[in-house]
């Protein structure tokens, strides 16, 4: 039975004219087992905390940088034509006068140097996305995700030593951290291709991936507090130790797929396997590279994620600097207020996953329509809020309000374009995420550098340009995915036996959702 018949304005250019909108075509033969205490929910919970740690390791430098830099020793960039920055209140205790424990070193890094150090992580991060996704899809994602988190944690422990040795050593260390962490999200996608029933796909993936925003929410104020009480080196020791501890639980409790899990119930295993079908199997060593390169829906994901990530990574790496140099919040305020937008992003992502699954279970909209609506909402509306941030001037209350509103609305794209790879090619989802994340990481490397260049004078106008640029790029991504995105399994993602099975069932559209 088709959810929606006929031509749809949501159809991608390569869709059939007489397409049947993708469905959860057949109910599993077994009843749906409860999620509470299930193996799939335990997996999602461990992933959630793993990505919380991952983002803590990623963003701690952006807050610690405020304490690491001796701003009184930095020669300011002078530009008499630039608008003045916001006046600092008499009682302000920003980075220049932050009270740090005795013996904690500080460094005279200028704005450009800070931008390069904040962007260094992403230069390494983009190198291992595709190899990590390819190997995870063929061998399983458990080892790759676990090793990715733990290796990044171990390297984080060396951050104070690298900073003491010099800027080049710290830059190289951050690149290596990115190399280790680059495999984590592709490995997650490869694992969910084996673990997530189509009926629960959106909520499981947005919950587990939402650990990143939750980690940023916790890490930003916690970093400020640790810097103030123990000094910035303790930040990297605490977060690095947390990552190593998480690794013990991960390697003890997690398996690559339901078939190999030693503690999963037979009821739940049968439900997952029957729901996903043959699309949950690993792909071989060979993959359809040319059809991937020519796939319009895949390029829609790539370009949209690049546009969305420009704004996200701009905020992730530069928000504490904005709070410090423009709004003049002290170190403890800086961490807390920088974290608020990520609380909103986390809540927005989780709610979008629940909403998406509800719409699909009730057969109210097609998968293509759900992904496009959530992406359009999650990119276009936040862009408007970012423009507002650029024009609120020196009002800290309005700035924080619009930033939080922007990231909260942006969370809805988590159940849109950011999980669309598993819709169009479940078997190759890990590799596709590696491809899209490779392109999507380019803004992470470039945005902090552009931000450092635009804000060398620490002026309100400089930061307005940063926010307006991010808004314009996000809006472009929204329109690209709306025009060219799709929610259907592509022909090149189906094996011969998949096609024969669907033909035998008499279904007119081979691009079904998630199982055969």
Q: Following DSSP, what letter does each residue of 454-469 receive, concatenated?
A: HTTT--HHHHHHHHHH
**Which residue in the block uniquely carries the two structure tokens 């403890």?**
332
Which residue carries 């920003």 as its tokens? 94
Domain boundaries, given as residue ranges, for the chain: 39-74+108-504
Give CA 35 to chain center in angstroms.
24
CA pair distance 77, 447, nearest whole angstrom: 20
The label of the residue with tokens 């924080």 reads: 400
Reduced 3-state DSSP string for 294-336: CCHHHHHHHHHHHHHHHHHHHHHHHHHHHHHHCCCCCHHHHHH
Kindly compute the dihedral angle of the four CA atoms of residues 378, 382, 384, 389, in this order, to the nearest 10 degrees. Answer: 180
**Residue 496 in 3-state DSSP?**
helix
Instruction: Give the integer Cα–Cα distance in Å for 143 and 211.
Output: 19
User: Domain 39-74+108-504 is of which CATH architecture?
Assistant: Up-down Bundle (1.20)
Query: Bridge-partner residues for 5, per DSSP?
Result: 20
Residue 304, pLDDT score: 94
- Determine which helix (DSSP H) or strand (DSSP E) holds 375, and give its type and residue range: helix 367-390
**d(C-alpha 340, C-alpha 348), whole Å:** 13
User: Given the structure tokens 């359009």, which residue do they identify?
Assistant: 376
Q: What is the DSSP letter of 8?
A: -
Q: Please tell me the number of Cα atoms within 13 Å of 375 on its side-chain side.
A: 34
Instruction: Let me know: does 195 contact 422? Beta carbons within 8 Å.
Output: no
Please answer whether residues 109 and 239 qualify as being in contact, where contact means their C-beta atoms are separated by less than 8 angstroms. Answer: no
Task: Write the DSSP assignment of 139-194 as a string of letters.
Answer: H-SHHHHHHHHHHHHHHHTTHHHHHHH-HHHHHHHHHHHHHHHTTHHHHHHHHHHH
Is the Cα torsion angle 344, 345, 346, 348 positive or negative in sign? Answer: positive
pLDDT in the model for residue 90: 58
Q: For residues 404 and 222, what is the distance between their CA atoms, to the nearest angstrom?
A: 18
Q: How far lies 63's CA from each of 111, 399, 402, 475, 491, in Å?
A: 14, 18, 20, 28, 46
Instruction: Please tell me the distance from the alpha carbon of residue 231 to that of residue 24, in angstroms, as a whole number.
Output: 53
Q: What is the per-residue pLDDT for 123?
A: 84
pLDDT at site 452: 79
| Residues 258 and 264 sit within 8 Å (Cβ to Cβ) | yes
- 107 three-class SS: strand
Q: Which residue has the tokens 């029933």?
A: 197
Q: Is the pTM of this model over 0.95?
A: no
Maximum pairwise Cα distance, the chain:
77
Q: What is the pLDDT of residue 80?
A: 40
- Ranges under pLDDT 50 in the chain: 1-28, 73-83, 92-97, 496-497, 499-516
- Tracing tokens 């690794």 back to the chain, one arrives at 247
Give the model's pLDDT for residue 3.
34
Distance CA 445, CA 457 (A): 21
319-324 long-range contacts (CB < 8 A, ≥24 apart) are 319/62, 319/403, 320/62, 320/63, 320/65, 320/66, 320/220, 321/62, 321/65, 321/66, 321/114, 321/451, 321/455, 322/455, 322/463, 324/66, 324/94, 324/95
Q: How far apart are CA 474 and CA 485, in angstroms?
A: 16
pLDDT given at position 223: 85
């Amino acid at each position: 039975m088709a959810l929606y018949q006929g031509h749809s304005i949501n159809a991608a250019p390569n869709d059939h004219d007489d397409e049947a909108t993708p469905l959860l075509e057949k109910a599993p033969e077994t009843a749906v087992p409860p999620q509470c205490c299930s193996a799939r929910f335990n997996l999602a919970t461990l992933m959630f905390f793993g990505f919380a740690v991952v983002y803590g390791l990623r963003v701690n430098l952006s807050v610690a940088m405020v304490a690491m830099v001796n701003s009184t020793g930095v020669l300011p960039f002078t530009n008499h034509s630039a608008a003045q920055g916001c006046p600092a209140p008499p009682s302000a205790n920003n980075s220049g006068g932050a009270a740090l424990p005795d013996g904690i070193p500080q460094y005279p890094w200028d704005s450009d140097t800070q931008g390069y150090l904040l962007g260094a992580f992403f230069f390494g991060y983009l190198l291992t996305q595709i190899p990590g996704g390819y190997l995870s899809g063929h061998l399983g994602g458990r080892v790759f995700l676990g090793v990715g988190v733990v290796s990044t944690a171990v390297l984080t422990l060396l951050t104070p030593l690298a900073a003491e040795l010099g800027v080049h050593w710290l830059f190289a260390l951050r690149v290596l951290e990115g190399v280790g962490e680059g495999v984590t999200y592709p490995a997650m996608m490869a694992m969910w291709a084996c673990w997530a029933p189509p009926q629960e796909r959106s909520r499981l993936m947005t919950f587990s991936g939402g650990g990143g925003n939750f980690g940023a929410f916790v890490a930003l104020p916690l970093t400020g507090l640790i810097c103030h009480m123990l000094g910035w080196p303790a930040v990297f020791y605490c977060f690095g130790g947390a990552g190593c501890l998480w690794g013990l639980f991960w390697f003890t409790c997690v398996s690559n797929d339901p078939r190999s899990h030693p503690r999963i119930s037979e009821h739940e295993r049968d439900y997952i396997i029957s729901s996903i079908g043959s699309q949950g199997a690993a792909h071989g060593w060979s993959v359809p590279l040319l059809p991937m390169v020519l796939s319009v829906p895949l390029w829609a994901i790539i370009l949209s994620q690049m546009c969305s990530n420009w704004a996200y990574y701009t905020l992730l790496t530069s928000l504490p600097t904005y709070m410090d140099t423009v709004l003049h919040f002290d170190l403890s305020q800086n961490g807390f207020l920088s974290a608020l937008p990520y609380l909103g992003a986390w809540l927005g992502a989780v709610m979008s996953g629940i909403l998406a699954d509800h719409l699909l279970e009730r057969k109210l909209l097609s998968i293509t329509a759900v992904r496009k609506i959530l992406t359009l909402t999650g990119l276009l509306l936040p862009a408007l809020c970012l423009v507002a941030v650029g024009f609120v001037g020196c009002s800290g209350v309005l700035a924080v309000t619009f930033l939080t509103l922007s990231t909260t609305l942006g969370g809805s794209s988590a159940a849109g374009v950011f999980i669309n790879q598993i819709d169009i090619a479940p078997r190759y989802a890990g590799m596709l995420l590696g491809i899209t994340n490779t392109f999507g990481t380019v803004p992470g490397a470039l945005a902090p550098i552009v931000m450092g260049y635009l804000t060398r004078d620490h002026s309100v106008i400089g930061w307005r340009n940063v926010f307006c640029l991010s808004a314009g790029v996000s809006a472009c991504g929204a329109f690209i995915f709306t025009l060219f995105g799709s929610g259907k399994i592509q022909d090149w993602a189906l094996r011969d036996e998949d096609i024969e099975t669907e033909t035998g069932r008499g279904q007119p559209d081979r691009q079904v959702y998630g199982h055969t």
